[in-house]
Amino acid sequence: MKILKRIVTAALVTVTLLAMLGCTRNEPAQKVDIVSHEIESTRNIEGLELTPANKELIREVFTEIESMEQRVDELGLDLWLVKSPEVNIMLKDFIFRKKNKELILKLNDSDQAVLDTEIVQDMIKEQLTVNYAKSSGIVVTSEELANLVSQQRAFLYDDNLEAESRELVQEIMQHRIALTGLTDELFWQSDEVMKGYSNSLYISKLMQELLADESQKGMDRFKQLQEKLLKVFLEKYEVNMSVLKQI
């Protein structure tokens, strides 16, 4: 049970940091694929110092994100990679996800390639997984959501965190919140952030159910489920990768 708890907790941390990082500038609450939450847990930047070089890298990446978002706004169109009853992914969602992943990799001195197709498919799988969890009867209460948001916000300023990591996370979050155009308080209360944390809870609860059931083969079953959901979805709907040419 201790191992199971650590796995589920790690998964939850992964998705919840993205919930903090995924809200786009002054947009209405809708899809927040931040759940997806593939990068960017504190595990990926644990022990990294906020050096002058890292601080400049963070600034450059967020400046690039802002510039690309402005470019999308100038086009004056709603640009969708995926638009369906089940999954919605706007171009801005993709931009942030990709740049966010690139940032974490660069902070870790990794030359791993960031593939557009993989990012989009991960975002699709996350939304489909949330849908599956809901249809399976999994419930997230308003109290659970409020507690998670409160805990994660407090976590950012926890003095027990390793000092270097805390400063790095805080630097990223400072830029992230500034990008939304919201105050710190409004950011944490925003529909987008709440939606992201809600999604993270649905995913973590589904994972917990699968991991607790030995007959389901835990993480293997979870990955297989996501691949199956993706396959069925792609047979029904098209992903408009050509929209990436706009940026």
Asked if 247 and 91 touch (Cβ cutoff 8 Å), the reply is yes
Q: What is the pLDDT of residue 32?
A: 29
Q: Is residue 158 over pLDDT 80?
A: no
The stretches of 76-161 forming alpha helices (DSSP H) are 91-107, 116-135, 142-156
pLDDT tens digits, 62-113:
999 999 999 999 887 778 999 999 999 999 999 999 999 999 999 999 999 9
pTM (predicted TM-score): 0.81
> What is the sign, positive or negative, of the torsion defined by CA atoms of 154, 160, 162, 163?
positive
Torsion of CA 135, 139, 142, 148, to 10 degrees: -110
Percentage above 70 pLDDT, the chain? 77
Contacts 24+ apart (CB under 8 A), 3-11: 4/208, 4/211, 4/212, 7/207, 7/211, 7/218, 7/219, 8/204, 8/207, 8/208, 8/211, 10/41, 10/43, 11/203, 11/204, 11/207
Greatest mean pLDDT among 58-62, 153-157, 172-176 lies in: 58-62
For the chain, give every domain's residue range. Answer: 2-246
Q: What is the pLDDT of residue 215?
A: 65
pLDDT tens digits, 36-60:
333 344 456 767 889 999 999 999 9
Q: Is residue 246 over pLDDT 70?
A: yes
Q: What is the pLDDT of residue 48?
A: 84
- Indicate the SS3 state at residue 28: coil
> What is the sign, positive or negative, of the torsion defined by CA atoms of 235, 225, 35, 94?
negative
Average confidence (pLDDT) over 181-196: 92
Asked if 125 and 133 touch (Cβ cutoff 8 Å), the reply is no
Q: What is the pLDDT of residue 27?
A: 38
Q: Is residue 8 over pLDDT 60?
A: no
Q: What is the pLDDT of residue 134?
A: 98
